[in-house]
Amino acid sequence: MIHSLFLINNVGDLFLEKHWKSVISRSVCDYFFEAREKAVEPENVPPVIHTPHHYLINIYREKIFFVSVIQTEVPPLFVIEFLHQVAETFQDYFGECSETTINDNVVIVYELLEEMLDNGFPLATESNILKELIRPPTTLRSMVNTITGISNIGQTLPAGQLSSIPWRRAGVKYSNNEAYFDVVEEIDAILDKSGSTVFAEIQGGIDACVKLSGMPDLTLSFMNPRLLDDVSFHPCVRYKRWESEKVISFIPPDGNFQLMSYHVSAQNLVAIPVYVKQNISFFESGPSGRLDITVGPKQTMGKTVECVVVTIHMPKVVLSANLNATQGTYNYDPVTKVLMWDIGKLNPQKLPNLKGSLSLQSGAPKPEEIPNLNIDLKIQQLAISGLKVNQLEMFGEKYKPFKGVKYVTKAGKFQVRM
């Protein structure tokens, strides 16, 4: 199972190590550094690295490499999933998962790692259980701890861990009982030069924030459940009822969690909310080029498209950009060669346009590669797949909870080829 964990920042400093079995010398990371160097970009480091006696499985999150060492045959996905959960737990506890926060909370980090993995085997990875064992840091608590010397470890073993519903603790009590659901959909798409769709799909998820007393048993139903043919559920969801009745029946964990994620596949028609007219050209004569981009709304179901940002990774020879934006602001970073145009709200009457010239390194050949456009956007109160929640019912408890559902559509990996 998982032997050790090393945390390495993106400069290559090893700043934390944890061993669950015997200590493995950190020199094992040399193999990782070698691969890291070979990959040039940190994103390109292969996830599984083979060394003579160990396997290094790593993930890259928030500019930190989580490098785990294993010695025997362990399913790599098992390790990768676990590492992602570690990263998420850090995020959950410290607000963000960065080298600074980890160093600031190093005691809690070690406590968490010790609880999450026992002799290499995952033990308590559910956020609810962890929070009962190790209380998240607050300013007040850390002060009290420093003065009194009391640790922030819970004195009792969480009751939920051994029950058949390990995700919920017993004896939850709230004065305001509320349950909110966010239906978040992301569009992954590739559009070609002419604007037609090469590939598009929707990744959706329902994030829940449930603060209900006691042991509520919830049932969520949809107006159009047939849209969902490919779903992944939180362990709390009763799969049988979904299979037979297409409703989501569950005893919720306490607090924030992702109830389900779904995937509307490429075979269904996916509405594309914006179109892009773009033109980029580099002149054979003289070190310059032209750029002209217009963005407009397409299938938006009558909603406003907000927070539109266009990002272009320019070829290396582009030195600077002299452009004129009719709306929003643009910024060209000559180091990373990224042109970012922050448009904001899309006005269908007056389409935003970015136009101007690019200056290239003199003497360099005309760039061979053609840049791609990345688009970010947000549409409130719309799930682009058309998914609608019908109702939420609660059983098992007497009180009347506040209920609410919000929809939002975002761009995921939304790319336009130029």
Partner 1 sequence: MEWASQLCENRGLGSKMTDSKYFTTTKKGEIFELKAELNSDKKEKKKEAVKKVIASMTVGKDVSALFPDVVNCMQTDNLELKKLVYLYLMNYAKSQPDMAIMAVNTFVKLVEDQGFLDTLKDLISDSNPMVVANAVAALSEIAESHPNSNLLDLNPQTINKLLTALNECTEWGQIFILDCLANYTPRDDRESQSICERVTPRLSHANSAVVLSAVKVLMKFMEMLPKDLDYYGTLLKKLAPPLVTLLSAEPELQYVALRNINLIVQKRPEILKHEMKVFFVKYNDPIYVKLEKLDIMIRLASQANIAQVLAELKEYATEVDVDFVRKAVRAIGRCAIKVEQSAERCVSTLLDLIQTKVNYVVQEAIVVIKDIFRKYPNKYESVIATLCENLDSLDEPEARAAMIWIVGEYAERIDNADELLESFLEGFHDESTQVQLQLLTAIVKLFLKKPTETQELVQQVLSLATQDSDNPDLRDRGYIYWRLLSTDPVAAKEVVLAEKPLISEETDLIEPTLLEELICHIGTLASVYHKPPSAFVEGSRGVQHKRLHARAGSGESAENTDVGQTGPSEAPSAVIPSQGDLLGDLLNLDLAPPTTTIPSVQPTMQMGAMDLLGGGLDGLLGGDLGGSPSMGAGLGVAPAAMPATLGGAPAVGGGLGDLFDLGGGVGMPSGSYVSPKTVWLPAMKAKGLEISGTFARRSGVIQMDLSLTNKAMSVMVDFAIQFNKNSFGLAPAGPLQILTPLSPNQTIDVSLPLSTVGPIMKMEPLNNLQFTHRQIHVHATQELNATFENTQRDRGNCQYPLSLLFVEDGKMDRQVFLATWKDIPSENESQFQIKDIHLNSDAATNKLQGINIFTIAKRTVEGQDMLYQSVKLTNGIWVLAELRMQTVNPNYMLSVKCRAPEVSQFVYQCYELVLRN
**Could you say which residues in the range 175-194 bind partner 1, by CB under 8 A?**
188, 190, 192
Q: Does 159 bind partner 1 (CB under 8 A)?
A: no
Stretch that binds partner 1, among 90-98, 170-178, 219-227, 258-266 (CB under 8 A): 258-266
* Phi, psi dihedral angles at 193 (to 5 degrees): -50, -45
Candidates 153, 170, 269, 301: give the one binding partner 1 (CB under 8 A): 153
Task: State the DSSP code for 364.
Answer: P
Q: Does 246 bind partner 1 (CB under 8 A)?
A: no
Per-state percent for the chain, helix, strand, coil, to nearest 5:
20, 40, 40
Token look-up 């396997």 returns 55
Least Å distance, CB 266 to partner 1, is 4
Least Å distance, CB 163 to partner 1, is 9
Comparison of 58 and 409: residue with beta carbon closer to partner 1: 58
CA distance 201 to 198: 11
* Phi, psi dihedral angles at 43 (to 5 degrees): -70, -20
Candidates 33, 78, 180, 275: give the one binding partner 1 (CB under 8 A): 78
Comparison of 365 and 404: residue with beta carbon closer to partner 1: 365
Comparison of 293 and 346: residue with beta carbon closer to partner 1: 293
Task: State the DSSP code for 161.
Answer: G
List, in sequence order, every beta strand (DSSP E) within 128-246: 178-191, 197-211, 217-222, 231-233
Neighbour count for residue 127 (Cβ, 10 Å): 20
Contact 36, 67 (CB under 8 A): no
Tokens of residue 196, six digits = 């037609």
Q: Does 50 bind partner 1 (CB under 8 A)?
A: yes
Q: Does 150 bind partner 1 (CB under 8 A)?
A: no
Comparison of 81 and 397: residue with beta carbon closer to partner 1: 81
Q: Does 80 bind partner 1 (CB under 8 A)?
A: yes
CA distance 130 to 135: 8
Taking alpha carbons only, the member of 65, 407, 397 closest to residue 215 is 397
Neighbour count for residue 188 (Cβ, 10 Å): 17
Task: State the DSSP code for 159.
Answer: G
Least Å distance, CB 218 to partner 1, is 17
Q: Does 267 bind partner 1 (CB under 8 A)?
A: yes
Q: Give Cβ neighbours of residue 350 (< 8 Å, ≥ 6 apart).
A: 326, 327
Least Å distance, CB 150 to partner 1, is 11
Q: Does 166 bind partner 1 (CB under 8 A)?
A: yes
Q: Does 265 bind partner 1 (CB under 8 A)?
A: yes
**Alpha-carbon torsion, ordered 358, 362, 363, 364, to 10 deg:** -40
Candidates 99, 132, 185, 201: give the one binding partner 1 (CB under 8 A): 201
Candidates 34, 77, 395, 399: give the one binding partner 1 (CB under 8 A): 77
Comparison of 14 and 74: residue with beta carbon closer to partner 1: 74
Comparison of 199 and 395: residue with beta carbon closer to partner 1: 199
x-marked contacts with partner 1 along 332-351 as a string, rule CB under 8 A: --------------------
Stretch that binds partner 1, among 92-100, 174-182, 236-244, 352-360 (CB under 8 A): 236-244
